[in-house]
Structure 1
């Protein structure tokens, strides 16, 4: 979360004065009692009222997990200094995650950890607007703690490069990644024998 926090603060530092005032105003509305700290109960009560959203369907299991069952632990991840509330800088992190759609969690078998850095995704699911993105943390990917119908998963950096490179480079990138996966599979089989 620390790297995400730094990114959020860097974006905030580059906002115009007017944009910064809007964020400060939203923070003050969320910290309803005027103490300039957002408690867990203020977070729960004012989240939807203030129009903060995260583009996760409300009927999905992920929404239920993060904003109902796991809301306290996610709030604690945001609470860097551990005082039980979000100060303005901690709120900026939440605001950034929600407004950029960067609020991603591992969809491995029961993991649901917040994906703050490198993660793996399925290019086929990502490019299909009718499907939910499939994202995995490094631990779930390496330990094969997932089941997914598409064979190719790539890390977020390789995926981003594939989106900006010409189509022939994309095919080459995925061929290399597929070859790498085949080599790993063969090495795993050899180790078992």
Structure 2
């Protein structure tokens, strides 16, 4: 694993820690204290291994290699910041490669089908994913994989689409409503004209009757 990846992981964990509330900051502190069995303010390889083995904290197949990855300053132990990075790895669900079994500190590829439907996601590091010898076996095809950035963007677009009303169904509804309004106005206009015509005919009949009565009196 390259050093700049390790530093980036520690930096991310530190940012989360510094921006958390005091209650949330206490959680990684408690985590560190539980690993620091002899209370010397650092976690040795043996303490790390005991906690990994007993607690099942992460799925690393090679705990010493994971320890080395976290030990950025190379002093043979983990200080508080380095343990906070481990806490971040556990809580964020950062993956271990389904091919080589190593922790993936950077970009990775996830099986989209497993991500949506399976109990456990299946991820591989770029090296294993592009290996022509296929150092991993999986039930789904490579074209079902997306890198973590593309997967996040795809999920975001899917969430947006589910919130949008279906456009093809809305447009005919608007046209139907407009057509109905036009028909209603036409019907009202015709009905109004008929009422006027009937009223006019009735008035004319009344006038004719009145004129006849007048003539007969005279």
With normalisation by structure 1, the TM-score equals 0.69
Root-mean-square deviation (CA, aligned residues, Å) is 2.5
Who is 1:70 aligned against? 62
Shift of residue 133, structure 1, vs aligned partner? 2.0
Shift of residue 44, structure 1, vs aligned partner? 2.6
Which structure has the larger Rg? 2
CA contact (8 A) 1:53 1:99 kept: no
CA contact (8 A) 2:52 2:63 kept: no
Who is 1:138 aligned against? 126
Shift of residue 135, structure 1, vs aligned partner? 1.1
Structure 1 residue ranges, 4+ long, deviating more than 6 angstroms after superposition: none
Of residues 128, 133, 149 in structure 1, which corresponds to 2:139?
Answer: 149
Give the structure with the higher percent helix. Answer: 2
Of residues 13, 26, 31 in structure 1, which corresponds to 2:18?
Answer: 13
The gaps in structure 1 that reach 5 residues or longer are: 55-62, 170-193
Q: How does 1:1-193 map to 2 (within 5 A)?
A: 1-47=6-52, 53-54=57-58, 63=59, 66=60, 69-102=61-94, 104-108=95-99, 111-130=100-119, 132-144=120-132, 145=134, 146-151=136-141, 152-166=144-158
The gaps in structure 2 that reach 5 residues or longer are: 1-5, 162-218
Shift of residue 96, structure 1, vs aligned partner? 0.7
Shift of residue 167, structure 1, vs aligned partner? 7.5
Count the aligned residue pairs. Answer: 153
In structure 2, what is the Cα distance between the partners aligned to 1:73 and 1:97?
Answer: 15
In structure 2, what is the Cα distance between the partners aligned to 1:18 and 1:168?
Answer: 33
In structure 2, what is the Cα distance between the partners aligned to 1:119 and 1:165?
Answer: 20
Q: Which has the higher contact order (CA 8 A, sep 6+)?
A: 1
Cα gap change, 1:87/1:124 in structure 2, threshold over 3 Å: closer, same or farther? same
CA contact (8 A) 1:30 1:47 kept: no
CA contact (8 A) 2:33 2:39 kept: yes
